[in-house]
Amino acid sequence: MDDGKPVWAPHPTDGFQLGMIVDIGADALTIEPLHQRGKTFLAPISQVFPAEDDVNKHVEDNCSLMYLNEATLLNNIRIRYSKDMIYTFVANILIAVNPYFDIPKLYSPESIKSYQGRSLGTLPPHVYAIADKAYRDMRVLKMSQSIIVSGESGAGKTENTKFVLRYLTTSYGTGQDIDERIVEANPLLEAFGNAKTVRNNNSSRFGKFVEIHFNEKNAVVGGFVSHYLLEKSRICMQSQEERNYHIFYRLCAGASEDIRNMLHLNSPDSFRYLNRGCTRYFANKDSDKQIMQNRKSPEDHKVMFYRLASFLNAFYALHSLPFRVSVHEIDHYCVHGSAS
């Protein structure tokens, strides 16, 4: 770190701050922030990093930074995020920041087209660029490719996985029913495996391993989803601000009148296994009906939805009954009263 040049230093409460070194101690440096002259703070020497000459400039690939360290990487992502550029490369790794709103045209059909067959780095960073690289590597190397999506809850893993699936099926599908079916499986999976938590209204409560299968002509011909570690305890108990799995609320909100009457469906507040958590709806009327619209044939709908609804209704009814452990037979449970 050159004398007289600004550095990034971790402020005790405000993250990395740009400042000048004013004193050098045995293990700590005294830093004076550029935007708060006179208010110095101490930072460990090992965590003080050199800053770029122009801290307002951003680059598409963090590897292009003159100094690549924790602070310059975060600053680059922050500047890009403030300009609605949520994706940044670190070589062939993609960092995505959740924008929490739809960025116009970012995932448009035109955008999908523009990334087809283009090498990494020739277009702005995007999840489509990663999907296309995986596809091209599979063709060239004739080997399976994996995309690992990782991050904390609410980071955008589920959404970005869906964008990858949409990209591959749109760009390299056979144009047949299978492309849509791969994409359409998601709302169904999410209905049974996603729930509102305090951090994310659509949090996946299970791990997902998605396979996309290609034929010898490298066209999408199928998919397979394995799931693991489903949070089963949520079915019986949710904290006050959280909900059970979406399917239960969708059934209450989206079932047709005849099914509602037949199965005595009411609002979520009337079911014991829902009303101890949050019972608000978070979807609009259209998305509540999403499940019903998944299969194209109305007959398929009816049969599938009726079976599903009957099963779930039995579940509701079951949970309206209070249970207690029998004193004599500890591994048996008996019904203690009648259903409301």
Using CA atoms, how far apart are residues 224 and 292, in angstroms rounded to an integer? 22
Tell me the per-residue interface mask from 126 to 165 with ligand ATP, x by CB under 6 A, - otherwise: -------------------------x-xxxxxxx------
Pick one of 2, 102, 110, 286: the residue that binds ligand ATP (CB under 6 A). Answer: 102
- Identity of the residue, 41 or 163, whose beta carbon is nearer to ligand ATP in the bound complex: 163
With 0-12 CB in 10 A as exposed, 13-18 as middle and 19+ as buried, what is 188?
A: middle
Q: Binding to ligand ATP (CB under 6 A): which residues in 159-198? A: 159
Binding flag, residue 228, ligand ATP (CB under 6 A): no
Using CA atoms, how far apart are residues 251 and 263, in angstroms rounded to an integer? 11
Residue carrying the six token digits 């400042």: 19
> How big is the CA angle at 64 (ends 58 and 68), to the nearest 5 degrees?
90
Residue carrying the six token digits 């960025």: 103
- Identity of the residue, 100 or 311, whose beta carbon is nearer to ligand ATP in the bound complex: 100
Binding flag, residue 99, ligand ATP (CB under 6 A): yes
Pick the piece of the chain touching ligand ATP (CB under 6 A) from 8-16, 134-142, 201-209, 221-229: 201-209
Question: Which residue from 233, 228, 256, 261 is spatially nearest to 245, judged by alpha carbons?
Answer: 233
Kindly state the number of chain residues that form the binding site for ligand ATP, as judged by CB under 6 A.
16
Is the distance from CB of 247 to CB of 260 less than 8 angstroms? no
- Identity of the residue, 71 or 253, whose beta carbon is nearer to ligand ATP in the bound complex: 253
Pick one of 17, 169, 186, 203: the residue that binds ligand ATP (CB under 6 A). Answer: 203
* Residues 47-50: contacts with CB under 8 Å, at least 24 apart: 47/9, 47/10, 48/1, 48/7, 48/8, 48/9, 48/10, 48/21, 49/1, 49/7, 49/8, 49/9, 49/16, 50/1, 50/2, 50/5, 50/7, 50/8
Closest separation in Å from C-beta 178 to ligand ATP:
24
Q: Binding to ligand ATP (CB under 6 A): which residues in 69-98? A: 98
Closest separation in Å from C-beta 282 to ligand ATP:
10
- Identity of the residue, 170 or 275, whose beta carbon is nearer to ligand ATP in the bound complex: 170
Pick one of 35, 46, 100, 299: the residue that binds ligand ATP (CB under 6 A). Answer: 100
Residue 261's alpha-carbon distances to 127, 271, 305, in angstroms, are 45, 16, 14
- Identity of the residue, 50 or 154, whose beta carbon is nearer to ligand ATP in the bound complex: 154
Looking at the chain, the number of H-run helices and the number of E-run strands are 12, 13
- Identity of the residue, 81 or 315, whose beta carbon is nearer to ligand ATP in the bound complex: 81
- Identity of the residue, 208 or 276, whose beta carbon is nearer to ligand ATP in the bound complex: 208
- Interface residues with ligand ATP (CB under 6 A) are 98-100, 102, 151, 153-159, 200, 202-204
